[in-house]
Structure 1
């Protein structure tokens, strides 16, 4: 796909992302951080003006000079401290996920407040926290687990921060599809139409991070790859083996583990059983996931 085609993804306001942002603006202070113009130079919204439903009408069928996401900011939005506090709350639960995180809880708690949150990412996380809370919690869970698995293999500080950010942002592309098709609903059997919608989100997430933020390319690549599988059975590009980056392999294990733990219930017996189910699920199809990243999950599942 050409650069022009990539840019076209954000040239108009995505209706699903916009609806989520507008819904969040009912309770959060989301404003324009710059004047918003269409391609013809018509001013649609003024800098510092709070976002409201009127913006949706202004944006209808308009191609924008700059992506909408780059023109808005959440003044009272999610911060790195918010993320740390949410991780701490997860650690306080008697769940399988908490068991996986606890060996590395101190290091994760130290690094999360230092994460650089790009304004576009902060905006979308804030919108998710207010309007799609299950998606926000999943993002924080993935951030923490991705970091914990990286630390289990001796990650440097730089690699740890990349792992934390990749986990946090891996599903931002879901903001751009109808929420009925999101992974929070993935426990149900997907029909062809649902799959066709869901399969797009890693690609959209990659474009979002690569075009609208200044994060390193390897971070965007990992997001694009988080549903790929080493045996070629994943999506969206059916990549195999060395075609998938180490960060993408890690993120795939994190996402698959959380998929099994989605119905995780508090309590020691239930947590132990959930860890065993996750360990089995990651190994049941030989060659699907990178065994090096599965190791910490398998170790935690042992009696």
Structure 2
């Protein structure tokens, strides 16, 4: 199975979501219904034409059992609307408040803040996407905060690149609505994806496709915004999802949005956010577009000499050394696979590509200057607070990146390898578990 078959499978999963009401999405609607008065915007009918819920009838818990067992004539989310729905003024006020409380995000938006805030007056709330964004605002304040941050970051990056205002608006719209498909996911799969099994993670990969389909079916959103939403978890080096697209196959707005999504997630979090965002952009070369990287890095610039992070140095050194040894083992395992005559030419090419991707991570540790410090006397390292701080930040970022690398490798093996058993050594080498709590406590 190749990448195209992977996407086809995800497309089928996304299509299946529309055939029957999704239990998780229905529960989200029920929870939000009394807060902002959610009602049926038209008669809700099954595929036989029978009316199950009449137009104007408020959504209550009763709708759950009545609808879940039926196939509907139309997707449920397209037949619901809030009487007290989100307004442009509300969103703009929430965005303004977020900038006031989140200095790192405000630094990125910078002098484009007023221009970006003014765009909220033109945001569309039409159809199912509008209903679902309102649902998100009621039920999941952290996710809504992230959506606002991503939308503003995307619009600001577009402005920094000198894009026209209509492209800035599409960037804002895409950032706000990129994760609406997550309303269909089991809530236990949300949050820290590092803790998910491969199968659990794989089931979450459908959400960009679902989000894009929701906007497409509404019929009023820009095509480039819809495409960017589908691409917002891709990476230019092909290690993203759902399509594993490489640089030239990702749209201009998609490249901008995937950068904004990553930056926003860091900038609204705690602990040296601007510095971590700078590091995340440059840590693995080739994942993010250079133009957006340069613009964002300029606004987020932090002088490492002014940074002081208190760490448990022996623990941090042990974690960093474990990471380096795991990546070195992965490189050797991939090189061994390249040399096996029993593998096909395409499999050996896959091994070469995966070896290079592992090397990129290994080089990221060395290029930071942090790993060089491990060869020093501990007393000398302890006296260099700049290097210690950088080592901490690199390891913390690796706690996010390494699970993604392993999943990418496992997905590639499942798609292309005739006998996955040959690849177990590589996959085991990449089982480098960094406990985020241990890193933060280091």
- Give TM-score scaled by structure 2 length: 0.63
Contact 2:98-2:145 within 8 A present in 1 as well: no
Distance in structure 1 (CA, Å) of the matches to 2:57 and 2:128: 17
Partner of 1:254: 260
Partner of 2:29: 21
Q: Secondary structure at the match of 1:24?
A: helix
Partner of 2:288: 289
> Per the alignment, do residues 147 and 175 of structure 1 end up closer, same or farther by CA in structure 2, a change over 3 Å counting?
same
Say how many residue pairs are matched.
294
2:247 aligns with one of 241, 246, 257: 241
Partner of 2:79: 71
Q: CA deviation at 1:231?
A: 0.6
Q: CA deviation at 1:8?
A: 4.1
- In structure 1, the gaps of 5 or more residues are 266-272
Give deviations 1:99-118, integer Å, cap 9, x for gaps.
11231111012111122221
Partner of 2:158: 150
Give deviations 1:21-46, integer Å, cap 9, x for gaps.
11001322001110010001111000
Partner of 1:185: 192
Partner of 2:218: 212
> Per the alignment, do residues 4 and 300 of structure 1 end up closer, same or farther by CA in structure 2, a change over 3 Å counting?
closer
CA RMSD of aligned residues (A): 1.9
Contact 1:275-1:300 within 8 A present in 2 as well: no
1:130 aligns with one of 135, 138, 160: 138
Contact 2:116-2:156 within 8 A present in 1 as well: yes
Partner of 1:93: 101
Q: CA deviation at 1:279?
A: 1.3
Q: Secondary structure at the match of 1:140?
A: helix
- In structure 2, the gaps of 5 or more residues are 1-7, 303-442
Distance in structure 1 (CA, Å) of the matches to 2:262 and 2:14: 28
Distance in structure 2 (CA, Å) of the matches to 1:8 and 1:211: 15
Partner of 1:228: 234
Give deviations 1:186-234, integer Å, cap 9, x for gaps.
4x44322331222121111122222234212221111110010111010
Distance in structure 2 (CA, Å) of the matches to 1:43 and 1:174: 28
Instruction: Determine which structure has the larger helix proportion and give its number.
Output: 2
Contact 1:34-1:47 within 8 A present in 2 as well: yes
Partner of 1:120: 128
Give deviations 1:256-298, integer Å, cap 9, x for gaps.
1123334235xxxxxxx42122111111111111111112220
1:161 aligns with 2:208: no
1:176 aligns with 2:184: yes
Q: Secondary structure at the match of 2:71?
A: coil
Which shifted more, 191-200 or 274-283? 191-200
1:58 aligns with 2:66: yes
Distance in structure 1 (CA, Å) of the matches to 2:274 and 2:292: 15
> Per the alignment, do residues 234 and 5 of structure 1 end up closer, same or farther by CA in structure 2, a change over 3 Å counting?
closer
Contact 1:120-1:213 within 8 A present in 2 as well: no
Partner of 2:363: none
Q: Secondary structure at the match of 1:77?
A: coil
Distance in structure 2 (CA, Å) of the matches to 1:189 and 1:43: 43
Select the structure of larger CA radius of gyration: 2
Distance in structure 2 (CA, Å) of the matches to 1:84 and 1:119: 20
Distance in structure 2 (CA, Å) of the matches to 1:192 and 1:4: 19
Contact 2:233-2:258 within 8 A present in 1 as well: yes
Q: CA deviation at 1:4?
A: 9.0
- Give TM-score scaled by structure 1 length: 0.91
Which shifted more, 99-108 or 157-166? 99-108
Distance in structure 1 (CA, Å) of the matches to 2:55 and 2:82: 13
Q: CA deviation at 1:125?
A: 1.2
